[in-house]
Amino acid sequence: MTERDILLNELAQGLRPMPQGIAWFDALAPDEQSEVLLFLRHHCVQARVVAEDGPEGIRRAGLRPTHTPAVLITRGRIDHQLGKVASLTPLDERRKAFRLLIAVLAIADGRRRERYCSNGCGHWWHRLSAAD
């Protein structure tokens, strides 16, 4: 686990405020931002994101339904659409993509935690709040 892994999971779990996450993301070089977005996309898929997570993710991220990442996530297969969201290049769209992917990860991982990890698990990120 890296500092980045911890920070992103803390954001997804609401253990760290999103403005702090946005400031961190904005300070990254464009290639590092792309890595982070692809990392988040991968973790959303690993957390078993479903199409129904898209609209709730949009709401939680504070995006309008007309914002590009919001439009993308609601059209087509969710795993493919997350890849498109993660590949956005304009900085403003990347910020929105970052917020959306964090929100979708929070939803999918929260569901996974309830269904499969409620009696304990080996996922280090599910123990972050206990480590504080």
pLDDT single digits (tens) 44-87: 999 999 999 999 999 999 999 999 999 999 998 998 999 999 99
The sign of the dihedral angle between the CA atoms of 62, 58, 47, 79 is negative
Q: Mind listing the pLDDT tens digit for each residue in 4-47? A: 888 998 999 888 999 999 999 999 999 999 999 999 999 999 99
Q: Structural domain boundaries of the chain?
A: 3-131
**Burial grade of 64 (CB within 10 A; 0-12, 13-18, 19 or more):** exposed
pTM above 0.85, yes or no: yes
